[in-house]
Chain A
């Protein structure tokens, strides 16, 4: 599964990253390779160590062990250089509550060594790009969560850094704002940026990331493209819906005999799911049902969702994860 890329093409290359807080090994030996121009997703439940890992790479936390390079520059020995190469949007908004949106962007521009006039122009451009021009002179204290997130991302883009860290960029956003954030991230990549993002949402990783690392309890449990991860679970799923729910038991026997797998009756009446080692076996099942005069209303063959992958890889259900996230 590890595929090696010539190091000259890597935006991030980390080996054996470890962070301990007392007895807690928040990050416990993670290797990471992110190619330039990629969106790399780090997927994991609460407390998995996503933020901690990102903060080590972003020079915000010292590493307990391991080494990391960003565009070939050592993170540990050249923090000031790394900070010129990255934009960081943390899990919690990091803008100044006492200033307006415009003032925030101007200040960060000045701190990045941009002239006052240029910083004002950049602020204006970013406010426009993130749909905040009308709110530019309002205090951040009056901003909604989504506006703060957008301003926070805007602030990370002032210096047009080639690598952007996004820690849970859409947590707490409504579906529409979330979609906008996804579009923004896609635009960034189209503009040549490399993005390393963390998320608890499986569909987000699926939608955005070219490559996904699943981490749990400080360790990487899997890595690959979304499709590769899904195929690790091995099977496709055949989902059937019977015309007459009363025939469920008979239908189950037929499906079991044809596939050799144990079908599951789904809660909605007349629904049967069965895992298929090979999607082509679906035809055999359908023929078997027809021979026994069992009529169906629908049949779908699906690849497993990332939820199922996560369950298989970490041993805990994503429901646990999502209810925790909702809290």
Chain B
């Protein structure tokens, strides 16, 4: 239709190249930190005998979410070990936990910032929409360019994809705190920090936890995708199943992902309910 093609791809490529060159040390430093976190998590997980680690996870679940989910976790984890997926499972767990740590670390302050400033919210909203709707695969390319192959770019791609719901719901939760509670906090002479910590955040907690839950689910959905850039784990097994057209192998690895997803989902959901049971009708 037109003679001139809008050179979006050239722009992006130039921009990424530029960033890559100018901020190489920053990216490398960041990669090292993430690498260290994952490494620590992984060696921690692997140092413990599988049965002991399973026991610890089951106890944690029992304490937070009750015996039903604890029973499910026990059976699920034993099954994963039984079909020989324990090591990939730990890899995936380390990836998921590391990415989620980053998400919480960045997402909470961003959400709070968005809630306390209309301008910040207006700027963030389209960026978040973009981050979440852009097909997840697309993040793999720059992630690889900046961080090479392995777990680190996996964490970064996951971070970008799974961050938005947390920021969004922290913002929403804090904005939905009833005005008279805010007025009460102010009338008693609370500082901004006191108001945030004693009133806004606790009252917004159920919404914040819903955001955490959503972002964990998105995080998990990236596991298989991230394996395409060399993030070892259950995703790699799925990928192998695809490459060999081996339904059974793919299904087993997929099942392990589902078990992890169910445990994490119910766990965060029950955190929300626990809080609500005490505070609301």
Bind each other: no
